[in-house]
Amino acid sequence: MTINLRALVDPTQESGVPGGAALLEFSEAVIGPDRERLDAARDVLALTLSPAAVSGAAAIAGNFSKNDRIANACGIPVDSIVMNITEDIRADLGLNDFRSAINTFKYM
């Protein structure tokens, strides 16, 4: 299976992941303020993959948010080896352009 990471930042592209479009829509809806969009995304995800996929995706989103907030609050820097091996991915996806990227680069 080939996974297209560009689909993470360009919803017009196919991710190569089964149910990828539904998962990406759910991930966008879960961090947004639109309750109707979130409800619709849950329904589509349940129909596309399964009702269990909704629970799984919600658990992953919640856990990621928790871990990210803890790391930011503690000031945990990204290891230099991780920065080196993800350089191309971060550039391709434009992750270095996010305002919060300064928190990573100030320790490098």
Q: Where are the domains of the chain?
A: 1-76, 77-108
Give yes or no for residue 23 having a pLDDT over 70.
yes
Give yes or no for residue 2 having a pLDDT over 70.
yes
pLDDT band for position 5 (50/70/90)?
Answer: very high
CA–CA separation, 91 vs 42, rounded Å? 31
What amino acid is encoded at 88 in this protein?
D
Give yes or no for residue 14 having a pLDDT over 80.
yes
Q: Which helix (H) or strand (E) holds 22?
A: helix 20-30
pTM of the full structure:
0.74
How much is the pLDDT for 55? 97
